[in-house]
């Protein structure tokens, strides 16, 4: 992160010292995004929003009360906190580090304290940019089950142990973050749910959680469109929903050979992957239910041997799924590597 993009909150009740501190940080070191608070109460109000924009908080210790700096530290959450005090004590120093402060600097130190502060900020930024936000990482791990239920297959952005944005792709998520001007330093991005690449899936072979289909609606034998074939793929999706979940590959033959989506795409009004995806989504909505899409069903594409393959990742649903047919509603489950009614 460039110095000019670092957002600082300075908490200092000595207005003369505060002005000097701002001058050094701006004029000498290049920090441009600086906000101030003259006491812990004012600082706390600025930190109440869980999406606070402060990368680094520099707080005096003695303000309204003798331990005001700790009040700021308790509210800081994911921000870096550096205590800068003239009333330094060993006890306060130990307490500050136990509470998670990055540094504890005495205003009475020999040399230029502002240079020491600048060095501390840069060291902190380097460390956290490399190792990430540990608190966010821990929170994501501890809440994995909840996150998978809410955001399975999506990329999420977490600030202060709160999901503030989610999107289907990392590119889309980054765009949302930019539009909201969120602090990248405080943001942890993770993909929820593991999705294996298609070449690894094919090597595994068909199983109770993996099935191959050569096409969606193209008859290989008849060399023409056969709309009835769509039910083979839809039955598999229903069975995965009612069992332990799984992955359906469309464009892969039973023996693992790559057939691709070219023939299926040739049947569409627009010969594109987007149109194929929309067609599949419409089929799922019509014959299974739109409420299963996104929450339990994710569709993605990969190219292998110059041919496109559709990967349908299906998560076990918390309610029964049925396939709508001319005969009525049909219920399917997985039994080994087959789909059973």
Counting Cβ atoms within 10 Å, is residue 189 exposed (0-12), middle (13-18) or buried (19+)?
middle
Alpha carbon separation from 86 to 15, 19, 280, 323 (Å, rounded): 14, 16, 67, 72
Q: Which of 148, 171, 191 is the last residue of a domain?
A: 191
158 with 98, same domain: the answer is no
Instruction: Print the domain residue range for 301.
Output: 198-340
126 with 141, same domain: the answer is no
211 with 253, same domain: the answer is yes
206 with 277, same domain: the answer is yes
240 with 276, same domain: the answer is yes
pLDDT tens across 1-35, in order? 578 778 899 999 999 999 999 999 999 999 998 99
Query: Would you list the DSSP string of 62-97?
Result: -SSSTTHHHHHHHH-TTSEEEEEESS--HHHHHHHH
pTM of the model: 0.61
Query: At which residue do the structure tokens 């309204």 appear?
Result: 64
145 with 203, same domain: the answer is no
pLDDT tens across 115-145, in order? 999 999 999 888 777 665 677 888 898 998 8
CB burial readout 14-43, b (16+ within 10 A) else e: eeeebeebbebbeeebebebbebbbbbebb
Q: Which of 162, 191, 220 is the last residue of a domain?
A: 191
pLDDT attached to residue 119: 95
Identify the CATH number of the domain in which residue 249 sits. Answer: 3.30.950.30
205 with 307, same domain: the answer is yes
If one counts the domains in the chain, the total is 3
187 with 210, same domain: the answer is no
28 with 84, same domain: the answer is yes
Q: Which of 191, 223, 239 is the last residue of a domain?
A: 191
181 with 116, same domain: the answer is no
Identify the CATH number of the domain in which residue 83 sits. Answer: 3.40.50.2300
186 with 218, same domain: the answer is no
pLDDT in tens, the chain (341 residues): 578 778 899 999 999 999 999 999 999 999 998 999 999 889 988 887 655 568 899 999 888 777 788 888 888 766 889 999 998 899 999 999 998 899 999 999 888 999 999 999 999 888 777 665 677 888 898 998 889 888 988 899 998 788 989 998 889 998 888 787 666 666 888 998 878 899 999 999 999 999 999 999 999 999 999 999 999 999 999 999 999 999 999 999 999 999 999 999 999 999 999 999 999 999 999 999 999 998 899 999 999 999 999 999 999 998 999 999 998 999 999 988 888 88
209 with 328, same domain: the answer is yes
Q: Which run of H or of E encompasses 1?
A: none
């Amino acid at each position: 992160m460039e110095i000019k993009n670092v957002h600082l909150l300075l908490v200092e009740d000595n207005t003369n010292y505060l002005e000097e501190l701002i001058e050094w940080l701006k004029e000498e070191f290049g920090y441009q995004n600086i906000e101030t608070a003259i006491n812990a109460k004012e600082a706390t109000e600025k930190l109440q929003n869980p999406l606070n924009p402060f990368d680094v908080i520099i707080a005096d210790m003695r303000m309204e009360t003798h331990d005001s700096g700790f009040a700021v530290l308790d509210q800081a959450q994911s921000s870096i906190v550096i205590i800068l005090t003239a009333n330094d004590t060993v006890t306060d120093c130990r307490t500050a580090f136990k509470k998670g402060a990055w540094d504890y600097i005495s205003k009475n130190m020999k040399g230029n304290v502002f240079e020491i502060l600048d060095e501390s900020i840069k060291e902190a930024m380097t460390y956290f940019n490399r190792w990430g936000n540990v608190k966010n990482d821990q929170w994501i791990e501890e809440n994995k089950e909840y996150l998978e239920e809410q955001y399975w297959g999506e990329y999420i952005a977490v600030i202060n142990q709160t999901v503030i944005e989610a999107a289907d792709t990392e590119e889309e998520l980054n765009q949302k973050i930019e539009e909201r001007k969120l602090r990248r330093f405080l943001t942890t991005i993770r993909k929820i749910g593991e999705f294996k690449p298609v070449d690894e899936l094919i090597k595994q072979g068909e199983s109770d959680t993996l099935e191959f289909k050569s096409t969606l609606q193209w008859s290989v034998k008849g060399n023409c469109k056969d709309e009835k074939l769509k039910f083979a793929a839809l039955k598999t999706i229903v069975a995965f929903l009612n069992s332990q979940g799984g992955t359906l590959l469309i464009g892969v033959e039973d023996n693992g050979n790559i057939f691709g989506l070219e023939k299926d795409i040739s049947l569409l009004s627009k010969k594109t992957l987007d149109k194929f995806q929309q067609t599949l989504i419409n089929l799922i909505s019509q014959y299974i239910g739109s409420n299963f899409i996104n929450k339990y069903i994710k569709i993605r594409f990969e190219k292998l041997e110059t041919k496109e393959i559709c990967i349908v990742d299906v998560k076990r649903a918390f309610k029964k799924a049925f396939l709508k047919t001319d005969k009525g509603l049909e219920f399917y489950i997985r039994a080994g590597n087959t789909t059973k009614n």
